[in-house]
Structure 1
């Protein structure tokens, strides 16, 4: 089967290895696994994760949750604060369809909006308090602010507290494995101490959940943590390899690109920014060289991207010629996946299936 370019390739053997690694860690450390599907956005892969022992899934946006719910996946955490009236109407529809829904909360104003939006329904919504463990994005501060929010939830008729969680995304800016470990331990501490503070005033917190592919193996071992939510670990990518979290050989997704031109001091691939995206690191840390790793061609660095062109440079010479095809490991696989409609699934030597990227473009 000849494939056109650019095409998104998924190595089934590497995918299965990555799925097994997450599941094994969860079993060995007696924690629940609730993987984030924003990396793969695929019903097929989400169901494989559930078959491998995941208790449910995590979504970034309501649109992703709607796609997964329509496919029969019912235990869903939306790890994003929701307060707009239009979005609460969509939450109501998910509840009407018997979705076991959990939603992130991090402010009193948001609690009021959710309560008001559900008051004329028979539903009670489970909410999880988002704690800021250092990323300084969403979330209340650990300790007292968590307790104050938990106390407010207790008095609301349409909301119930199900958990405390965080995401240590700032681990992507770490300069060493030791720093990643430190961030992971701080991540767990923020959740555990916040949950314990709630329980000291008589408010139970059943779930204490941590995420982040770089940190989950550190945070997930801390006493008191009982759930992990890795996302990128389903595939890995060049940034994870740059961080030392994984290696390039474990990356399950590549982009099949074509050589569109070879010149004296440069080579052009048909994989521009609309294919490879512009990530060169995360949260201030440039962990990669160029805009993707060209497999078997270390002499080539993809130096710059325009929309349809990936411009590579090389030292002295390259064996690549016009019309050749290459596989490129993306820097940040999550954003690249969202550019494609489907995965071409292969076993390393031949194509074995085609899977839809069902939640592609679901950004609302």
Structure 2
């Protein structure tokens, strides 16, 4: 099968760019120093590639991801880095032989772990992002309560998600250190072997953490590229130009492709078409103006602004052979994408809840 045979919109993964990203992160954070976050790709086939690079512990965001990873034989060490109030499905995964750790930040989530049959927990600490997590000075008391309830407290986790996309690298590094210091203070009270945190944008600065929960590095998006990271754009959304309008009456010309709001995560803004200006997205349409106007029927590769929710909108991704530019920035129309070979098809099998 070739790219020309695909129905659009379709997720394309440049095999060369993906492998370069996996190898680069494995060099930066070898083995257990990286706990890849599967929420970024929701695909066990891609997780297996990460495992082949020496990473055998994984981070999950949903119970469904934990179940799917275990069913795929990737359940050696799964962390659900999220609070749940019903852990019975997690307990069933543990009973089937997988190792599952769940984050807790309250007496209620502690009780859910006990009642659900999960035996290992991390204390989730608020280190600056106003989301989940207990205050650092209360983490030790929650850990004591968890041990008293019969749980094994492996350590702490914290996420400086508000810093991941800062474009000033020096500022990102400075603020990450401040957040990590809060996590270390909590760990001094909690104990355990694990200090888990970080993400793609701060992976180089969390040197005090025993493991980093990076995920977006594998596929990338325009938001992380704008932050100046070293990873290459590996995923694009293949779209077909379905309408064109020529310049007239002082109005510029434009083109419309068949991938819109239902094909892209939009919380970080519009996706990008290299060499073009994206005007807006509607339900099934992407309207853009290009310096070299495309023709109706041209295929266009569109770069998402936020990889995680974009992938979750699609049922499968297609791994294609490397492009002439190495897939570093994606491509627009006229790059010969239609002739590229589809090397593999991966089901996005961790979607849903």
* Deviations 1:127-172, CA, capped at 9 Å, x for gaps: 0011111111000122x21111111112112x11012011111014
Contact 1:6 1:257 (C-alpha < 8 Å) held by counterparts: yes
Q: How does 1:345-356 map to 2 (within 5 A)?
A: 345-348=319-322, 349-356=340-347
Cα distance in 2 between the residues matched to 1:207 and 1:114:
18
- Give 1:197's match in structure 2, choosing from 182, 189, 201: 189
* Deviations 1:190-227, CA, capped at 9 Å, x for gaps: 222211233xxxxx3110111211001111x23xx211
Cα distance in 2 between the residues matched to 1:252 and 1:343:
11
TM-superposed deviation, 1:355: 1.3
1:133 aligns with: 127
Matched residue of 2:170: which SS? helix
Number of aligned residues? 326
Query: Are 2:211 and 1:211 equivalent residues in the alignment?
Result: no
Cα distance change of structure 1 residues 117 and 276 upon mapping to structure 2, 3 Å threshold: closer
Q: How does 1:76-155 map to 2 (within 5 A)?
A: 76-84=78-86, 88-118=87-117, 125-142=119-136, 144-155=137-148
Matched residue of 1:94: which SS? helix
2:17 aligns with: 14
Q: How does 1:1-364 map to 2 (within 5 A)?
A: 1=2, 2=4, 3-27=6-30, 32-74=33-75, 75-84=77-86, 88-118=87-117, 125-142=119-136, 144-157=137-150, 159-172=151-164, 174-198=166-190, 204-219=191-206, 221-222=207-208, 225-246=209-230, 250-263=232-245, 264=247, 265=252, 266-280=254-268, 291-295=270-274, 298=275, 300-314=276-290, 317-348=291-322, 349-360=340-351, 362=352, 364=353
Matched residue of 2:262: which SS? helix
Contact 2:164 2:202 (C-alpha < 8 Å) held by counterparts: no
- Which structure 1 residue ranges, 5 or more long, are not aligned? 119-123, 199-203, 282-290
Cα distance in 1 between the residues matched to 2:14 and 2:167:
29
Cα distance in 2 between the residues matched to 1:116 and 1:5:
45
TM-superposed deviation, 1:177: 1.4
Cα distance in 2 between the residues matched to 1:112 and 1:7:
43
Matched residue of 1:330: which SS? coil
TM-superposed deviation, 1:253: 0.3
TM-score (norm 1): 0.85
Matched residue of 1:323: which SS? coil
Contact 1:32 1:55 (C-alpha < 8 Å) held by counterparts: no
Matched residue of 1:22: which SS? helix
Contact 2:89 2:116 (C-alpha < 8 Å) held by counterparts: no
TM-score (norm 2): 0.88
TM-superposed deviation, 1:175: 4.5
Matched residue of 1:277: which SS? coil
Matched residue of 1:80: which SS? coil
Cα distance change of structure 1 residues 169 and 113 upon mapping to structure 2, 3 Å threshold: same
Matched residue of 1:76: which SS? strand
Cα distance change of structure 1 residues 334 and 117 upon mapping to structure 2, 3 Å threshold: closer
Matched residue of 1:293: which SS? coil
Cα distance in 2 between the residues matched to 1:175 and 1:294:
21
Cα distance in 1 between the residues matched to 2:20 and 2:179:
26
Cα distance change of structure 1 residues 137 and 68 upon mapping to structure 2, 3 Å threshold: same
1:201 aligns with: none
